[in-house]
Chain A
Amino acid sequence: MPTPNRLGSTAPESIFRSQEGLGVWEHKGKVAAVGIGHSPTARRWDGTAENTIGAWCLMALRKAIDDAGVPPEEIDGLVFLPTTTTGAHWPADRPIPMDIVNAYETTDDPLDGIAKLTDTWLLKNMPELTNVKFVMAGMDCMSNAIAIAAQAVGDGMANNCLVLKAWHNLEGRYSHGGANAEETISGNQKWSNPYGSANSWGTAQQFQRYLWKYGKTKEMMTPFMVNSRRNGLMFPEGYWYQHRPEELTEEDYLESRWIAKPANLFDNDIPIHTAAAYLITTAERAKDMKQKPAYILNHAADRTIQRGLNQTLEEAQRSCASTGRKLLEGAGISASDLSFENMYDGFSLFHVFHMEGLGFAGVKEGEGLDLYQEDISIEGPHPVSPSGGNVGSGRTRFWMHTDSIQQIQGRAGDRQIRIPAEIGVSGGPLPLYHSDWIVWGASPD
């Protein structure tokens, strides 16, 4: 595997389609996702060997292989994300439970498989994968891993490539210790920490300006939030479905406590412990697998960097508009071809920026909240976030991909959109920064 960059990724930037004007993706419709595998979900790791994040990765990978119906020895690629933290890091003074570590094949790092991942740990613990030749580490999100795998399979570097993303969550509140508990502050945080901080504040201030700029109200978010939880409660793989099958009412949302007004508790996704994997293969090979192919029509990336200390609304909007143009251009489609959108939603308040940038259902900048007041359900003409996203199933940044594949395959169960699921889009995480996006199609053309 190549040497990781400072962010832990071994993927060269040349893999990603981060520029506008590249034309239709050269592998449009020649690559597909077929198999899906999920571990269970939990609020936090329970401290047992069978529920380490590594164990759940093995479970998710094996389920994806089985779901696709591919013999393990035919798997020749693996793309994974070394980082598994939701924000919770293993405390320096906490003893590492070696009995749990030694329940698996180990590497030099005892936290491997507990609070991080390496390809070495994964492959040592999956001896049935005897033919993996292509291994690459992505950055942060499943979106990034899918983009890498799509390009790698298209380029012929792998034929049957697994992609994996896992999130571990430990006891305690994160972000409250370490540098945040000190009287002095170094590094990049020195520019903002003295004034206070909340993780959702950056998005909250963008949304506040959005409300001011377009004359909208926070209450206009409510239908999106209620709809997203509703969709989440129809997602058997998700956290709220499995552990807290509670509807979110208008009152629940509007009366929730503030975190960083206008972001309240429900606008912040809940950190969970879980893993998911997909099998990405060639369109040709996919024809013989157990599930219908969800063709990849394009992948696009956003690598824009903000100018100032804080990403502004206008920078986010420019970024989202550019992402939308790249996605549509590379897939050779227009926004009106989209059956559904599964753009990222954690934090919920920026989903509208993504949706407007894409031009979903014809919305332009400043019109997204108006669309929320119409029928955005899975029964309607313009299903918004049929996955329910992080709002509906917990913080993973991958529900939107699972749902998109399932929608295209026609096996989204109760969440299946009522209009034909021909073309959809999913991805994330943020406007700007390091985001990746996928266009899915029921047909390769």
Chain B
Amino acid sequence: MPKQSPVPDELDQPFWDACNEERLVIQNCVSCDRLQHPPEAECFGCGSGNELEWREMSGRGRIHSYGVVYDNTVALRIPDQPFNLAVIELEEDPEITLVSNLPGVPLDEVEIGAAVTVIFEETPATGQKIPEWQVVE
């Protein structure tokens, strides 16, 4: 179902460009070897502003937790209520998290800790692709 299209800015354009190429990249600080997401102008760990790079991820992760949204505030998502909304932790660093509607997982039948893999979903307004996550069978 339709989702809002994220509008890239100068800072996060590489993330969204990679999504359109169906690759998941996360900002990494070369100086302190630390991932961070969402991207920032400076490293949250060491404050370095000029040693940030984009590192490609494996696309593997786990379901950290979830909720089932019945009364959501985003207009485009209202027709799909209720829906799963999960926190995904990345294999490379479980404290780096993204969110997912877990396509294919029945409502409220979410297994915390289950392995997931990234897919990419096109959003209708601009065609921008966004990361989504599927449970690995």
B-binding residues in A (CB < 8 A) = 175-176, 180-186, 188, 190-199, 201, 204-206, 208-209, 212, 257-263, 305, 307-310, 312-313, 315
Chain B residues within an 8 Å CB radius of A310? 87, 97, 99
Known: A194-B130, A208-B66. A258 touches B100 (CB 8 A): no
Tell me the nearest residue of chain A to B3, going by C-beta. A194
With A and B bound together, what is the CA distance between A310 and B97 in angstroms?
Answer: 6
Tell me the nearest residue of chain B to A210, going by C-beta. B65
With A and B bound together, what is the CA distance between A305 and B95 in angstroms?
Answer: 12
Shortest Cβ gap from B56 to chain A (Å): 18
Contact B83 A196 (CB under 8 A): yes
With A and B bound together, what is the CA distance between A193 and B71 in angstroms?
Answer: 14
* Any A CB within 8 A of the CB of B47: no
Known: A190-B7, A201-B85. A212 touches B70 (CB 8 A): no
Known: A185-B6, A185-B7, A309-B37. A198 touches B65 (CB 8 A): no
Contact B70 A205 (CB under 8 A): no
Contact A183 B124 (CB under 8 A): yes
- Give 8 closest A-B pairs by Cβ, nearest first: A209-B65, A308-B97, A196-B77, A190-B6, A204-B67, A183-B125, A194-B3, A261-B68
Known: A180-B75, A186-B9, A188-B38. A261 touches B70 (CB 8 A): yes
Tell me the nearest residue of chain A to B107, going by C-beta. A261
With A and B bound together, what is the CA distance between A192 and B74 in angstroms?
Answer: 10
With A and B bound together, what is the CA distance between A312 and B95 in angstroms?
Answer: 8
* Any A CB within 8 A of the CB of B36: yes
Contact B70 A194 (CB under 8 A): no
Question: Can you list 16 A-B contacts (CB < 8 A)?
Answer: A183-B5, A185-B6, A190-B7, A193-B4, A196-B81, A197-B77, A201-B69, A209-B65, A257-B71, A258-B82, A259-B71, A261-B108, A308-B37, A308-B97, A312-B87, A312-B95
Contact A260 B70 (CB under 8 A): yes
With A and B bound together, what is the CA distance between A318 and B69 in angstroms?
Answer: 26
Contact A196 B101 (CB under 8 A): yes
Known: A184-B4, A185-B5. A209 touches B70 (CB 8 A): no
Interface residues of B in 1-51 (CB under 8 A from A): 2-7, 9, 12, 36-38, 44
Contact A307 B130 (CB under 8 A): no
Tell me the nearest residue of chain B to A258, going by C-beta. B70
Contact A197 B74 (CB under 8 A): yes
Tell me the nearest residue of chain B to A307, going by C-beta. B95
Known: A183-B5, A190-B6. A195 touches B123 (CB 8 A): no
With A and B bound together, what is the CA distance between A182 and B7 in angstroms?
Answer: 12
With A and B bound together, what is the CA distance between A181 and B73 in angstroms?
Answer: 8
Contact B67 A212 (CB under 8 A): no
Known: A201-B69, A212-B65, A307-B44. A194 touches B75 (CB 8 A): no
Contact B4 A309 (CB under 8 A): no
* Any A CB within 8 A of the CB of B72: yes
Known: A183-B4, A205-B65. A257 touches B74 (CB 8 A): no
With A and B bound together, what is the CA distance between A408 and B2 in angstroms?
Answer: 54
Contact B71 A194 (CB under 8 A): no
With A and B bound together, what is the CA distance between A436 and B67 in angstroms?
Answer: 28
Tell me the nearest residue of chain A to B78, going by C-beta. A196
With A and B bound together, what is the CA distance between A190 and B81 in angstroms?
Answer: 20
Q: Which of B6, B80, B98, B112 contacts A196 (CB 8 A)?
A: B80
With A and B bound together, what is the CA distance between A197 and B76 in angstroms?
Answer: 11
Chain A residues within an 8 Å CB radius of B77? 195-197
Shortest Cβ gap from B6 to chain A (Å): 4
Known: A180-B74, A196-B77. A206 touches B65 (CB 8 A): yes
Chain A residues within an 8 Å CB radius of B89? 308, 312
* Any A CB within 8 A of the CB of B96: yes
Contact A308 B95 (CB under 8 A): yes
Contact B7 A186 (CB under 8 A): yes
Chain B residues within an 8 Å CB radius of A186? 6-7, 9
Chain A residues within an 8 Å CB radius of B12? 190
Contact B95 A194 (CB under 8 A): no
What 1/0 mask marks residues of chain B from 79 to 95 whose CB sits below 8 Å from any chain A CB? 01111011101000001
Chain B residues within an 8 Å CB radius of A261? 67-70, 82, 108
Chain A residues within an 8 Å CB radius of B6? 184-186, 190-191, 194
Shortest Cβ gap from B46 to chain A (Å): 14
Contact B95 A313 (CB under 8 A): no
Question: Which interface residue of B38, B72, B74 has the most chain A CB atoms within 10 A?
Answer: B74
Shortest Cβ gap from B123 to chain A (Å): 6
Shortest Cβ gap from A298 to chain B (Å): 28
With A and B bound together, what is the CA distance between A258 and B107 in angstroms?
Answer: 13
With A and B bound together, what is the CA distance between A47 and B36 in angstroms?
Answer: 46
With A and B bound together, what is the CA distance between A196 and B125 in angstroms?
Answer: 16
With A and B bound together, what is the CA distance between A194 and B37 in angstroms?
Answer: 17
With A and B bound together, what is the CA distance between A182 and B6 in angstroms?
Answer: 11
Contact B76 A183 (CB under 8 A): yes
Contact A198 B5 (CB under 8 A): no
Known: A199-B73, A309-B99. A205 touches B83 (CB 8 A): no
With A and B bound together, what is the CA distance between A184 and B69 in angstroms?
Answer: 21
Chain A residues within an 8 Å CB radius of B72? 196-198, 260
Tell me the nearest residue of chain A to B26, going by C-beta. A308
Shortest Cβ gap from A180 to chain B (Å): 5
Chain A residues within an 8 Å CB radius of B82? 258, 261
Contact B97 A312 (CB under 8 A): yes
